[in-house]
Structure 1
Amino acid sequence: MAGAYVALEGGRVVEARCRAPGTGRGELVFTTAYTGYEESLTDPSYEEQVLTFSYPLIGNYGVREERFESDRVHPTAVVARELTDDVAEWLDEEDVPAVDHLDTRDLVGGIREEGAMKCGIAAGPDATPEDALAELEACPGMSDHENIGAQVSVAEPEVHNADADGADVALVDCGAKGSIVESLVDRDATVHVLPHDATPADIEEVDPDLLFVSNGPGDPANFEATQALVETYAGDVPLAGICLGQQIIARALGGTTEKMDFGHRGVNQPVRDLETNRVVMTTQNHGYTVADTGELDVTQVNVNDDTAEGLESDELDVITRQYHPEANPGPHDTLDFFDDVLDMTGPRRRLVSAD
């Protein structure tokens, strides 16, 4: 079996086994999810990252395309304690390097202590530690991916459930998971999926009842066009957002964001609602968080670190969540979020011209 090497920021090189050959680089992050590896690997929010699975065996129930969240694998490389042949062959077909037979507990512990870090990977019969170190040397930071939205967004508008009788939703695609679209379609909405850099003219052509900003990868500060849309229509059309969408909406309404040490990635993040005091388990995948909420009120917080998990404004008709209510993988404790945001559409609203 061919060898592999993982070069970590700081200079340490870890030896591993090659499961899918190639070289890769990115921000090394980990997920604590023990199921849902197909959904995680096809989640656009992992773009430009090297995904480490903390659960020791990945692939024990095969690979099924109907579980995919997008049309490709997004991490630049994959690390696990052990990958089954099914997953290894899938990653090989996707040209995504993958390695296993290394101590992922040590890697995860290092990320928790030192924060998410750059890394380089080289895997294959001719791989050397120097190859991995060269990848590490060339690795940019997440904030350096200024046009990451273009890598994960639709290039042209798409329409789902066109003949529905429910609300018209303009979903700005910053890296949307497919299950977000499905959750809206299941509630009889027509979903107009628009590119991340959609213009006011694109929005007005749809004339939506709801403007929805999706999840996605990277630094929210790099989604300037999406933020400008929110600034344009806030107060004129109801707004909703998930994950990156919450961060972009908060920035547009006077808030700020910051990078977390190692983020929240997994399916067991506890969130407390400040009004009901109810705690729910949530699925999360993000490395940035809202630091200052601007015009929005905090309605939910993370039990572990008190970061903002839910933001709202009755005056502006805004509801956002930092976690993924649609889960996939994960618990379905918070699916009612989609009912709440569609309730904001109420009687059909007409957009005020952006002029």
Structure 2
Amino acid sequence: MTKGYLVLETGETFEGDWIGAEREISGEVVFNTSMTGYQEMLTDPSYTGQLLTFCYPIVGNYGMNKDDVESKHIAVSAVITSDICEEPSHYQSTSSFSEELKQANIPGLQNVDTRSLVNAIRKHQTVKGKLVKEASQSTHRWEYKNSLDLVKHAAVTSIESYGDGTFHVVLVDFGFKKSILDALLQENCKVTIVPYHTSFEDIQAMDPDGVLISNGPGDPMELLAFLPTVKAITKTYPTLGICLGHQLIALAYGGKTKKMPFGHRGSNHPVKDVSTGKVHMTSQNHGYVVLEESIDPQQFQITFRNVNDRTLEGIRHWMLPVQSVQFHPEAHPGPSDTEFIFNHFIQQVILSRGGTYVEA
């Protein structure tokens, strides 16, 4: 094996062995605490531009398949792991973890002390890093990646249509996960996916029953140019925002966001429903959060809060059929506790068409 190194901007260096493509690359170093779902994580567009560390000590044991993907290609810039299984055992497996990385030209390191790495990230909070071939290099360039460029890389470039259900939903794509599309199709929807820069007039011409604003990578404050379209959508159609979509809806109505110390990335984040007190386990992947004190209580009610750090996890407009959540109700990987969010969205669509609300 060829030795490689992860050098952090804070000075720490972590040794490992190269996997995938042996090429140097830099980016924000983040970690995910999930025990399973490494394939879904690799292909989650919200990881675009990031170096993903797996906390679980072994990945690759059930291989890679053609079904458990969240986009058409691997989204992460690089991966950092402890142990990798090169001989996976699963009837659906078509290739190994490292083979898939090499085929996609994605670099990574294995045999890294990931526990120490995660401790360093938690200590220093937001950390940039670079995979290098020589640890003795004295200078490293810490590249800044504009959020719009990340979204351009993650989102579709042309309109795509799926399904032939009763309800027509336009999915505004900032880097959507395939499981969101699957959830809408299961709710009897026809889904039209449009690029993030699609104008409100073009969306109107599609005559949707509702609109979903997707997740995606980057800092929502660098996407302010799209807020007028987001606000026009919410004032016209039943709207659901997920993750980045949640943040954009909040910003469109005067809210504010901030960078989190090291984000929420995992499949076991407890979220409390404010109205019922019930706690749901959720899948999350975000590095920014909406500040609750910035939400106008005359316009929005708070629907969910994170149990661990009490950060804002969901809002609903008092008058308009608009709701958004910071977590991922479609999960994958993770629990399906909050999949009812999609049903609530469709019920709002039904009400807007003059139908009757039916509690799921």
TM-score (ref. length: structure 1) = 0.92
Write the distance in 2 (CA, Å) between the matches of 1:48 and 1:31: 15
Give SS of 1:147's match. helix
Count of matched residue positions in the alignment of Structure 1 and Structure 2: 340
Structure 1 residue aligned with 2:153, among 151, 155, 158?
151
TM-fit CA distance, 1:296: 2.1
SS across alignment from 1:227: helix
Match of 2:134 among 122, 128, 148: 128
Q: How much has 1:186 moved relative to structure 2?
A: 0.8
Of 194-203 and 33-42, more deviation after overlay is shown by: 194-203
8 Å contact kept, 1:76–1:97: yes
Taking the aligned partners of 2:191 and 2:202, their CA distance within structure 1 comes to: 14
Q: Structure 1 stretch 91-100 or stretch 289-298: which is displaced more? A: 289-298
Alpha-carbon distance, 1:297 to partner: 1.8
Q: Which AA in structure 2 matches 1:263?
A: G
Residue of structure 2 aligned with 1:96, choices 106, 117, 129: 106
Quote how far apart the aligned CAs of 1:227 are. 1.9
- TM-fit CA distance, 1:349: 5.1
SS at match of 1:155: coil
Contact 1:79/1:100 (8 A) holds in 2: yes
Cα pair 1:30 1:53 within 8 Å, conserved: yes
The residue correspondences of 1:213-224 to structure 2 (distance < 5 A) are 213-224=213-224
Q: Does 1:160 align with 2:162?
A: yes
Kindly provide the amino acid, as one letter, of the partner of residue 178 in structure 1. Answer: K
Match of 2:79 in 1: 78
Shift of 1:4: 0.4
Q: Which residue of 2 aligns with 1:28?
A: 29
Which residue of the partner structure matches residue 92 of structure 2?
none
CA contact (8 A) 1:169 1:189 kept: yes
Aligned positions of 1:199-278 closer than 5 A: 199-278=199-278
Could you tell me which runs of 5 or more consecutive residues in structure 2 were left unpaired when the two chains were aligned. Answer: 87-95, 355-360
Cα distance in structure 1, aligned partners of 2:253 and 2:200? 17
> Which residue of the partner structure matches residue 62 of structure 1?
63
Residues 136-163 of structure 1 deviation map (CA, whole Å, 9 limit, x = unaligned)? 41321x6x333321111110111111x3
Work out which of the residue numbers 290, 309, 313 in structure 1 matches 2:313: 309
Tell me the equivalent position of 2:53. 52
Distance 2:24 2:2 in 1: 13
Residue in structure 2 matching 1:338, options 336, 342, 349: 342
**Following the alignment from structure 2 to structure 1, what is the Cα–Cα distance between the partners of residues 306 and 352?**
34
Query: Would the aligned equivalents of 1:196 and 1:225 in 2 still touch at CA under 8 Å?
Result: no
- C-alpha distance in 1 between matches for 2:264 and 2:351: 37
CA gap 1:15/1:241 in 2 versus in 1, 3 angstroms: same
Letter in 2 for 1:121: L
Post-superposition offset of 1:130 = 5.0
The one-letter code sitting in structure 2 at the alignment partner of 1:80 is T
CA offset at residue 206 of structure 1? 1.1
Aligned-residue offset at 1:279? 0.4
Which amino acid counterpart does residue 22 of structure 1 have in structure 2? R
Aligned to 2:41: 40
Q: Distance in 2 between matches of 1:130 and 1:96?
A: 23
For the Cα contact (< 8 Å) 2:215–2:242, is it kept in 1? yes
User: How far does residue 191 in structure 1 lie from its aligned partner after superposition?
Assistant: 0.7
Q: Select the residue among 115, 126, 142 that pairs with 1:116.
A: 126
Spell out the pairing of 1:271-286 with structure 2 (5 A cutoff): 271-286=271-286
Aligned-partner Cα distance in 1 for 2:8–2:265: 20
Counterpart-to-counterpart distance in 1, 2:260 and 2:135: 29
Whether the 8 Å contact between 2:300 and 2:318 is mirrored in structure 1 is no
Distance 2:250 2:75 in 1: 26
- Aligned partner of 2:331 in structure 1 is 327
Q: Is the 8 A contact 2:5 2:13 kept in 1?
A: yes
User: For 1:257-311, what per-residue CA distance to the aligned partner results, in whole angstroms no more than 9, with x for missing partners?
Assistant: 1110100000000000111100010000000000122332211100000111111
**Which residue in the other structure is 1:353 paired with?**
none
Name the CA distance, whole Å, in 2 between partners of 1:214 and 1:145. Answer: 15
Question: Could you say which residue in structure 1 is the equivalent of 2:91?
Answer: none
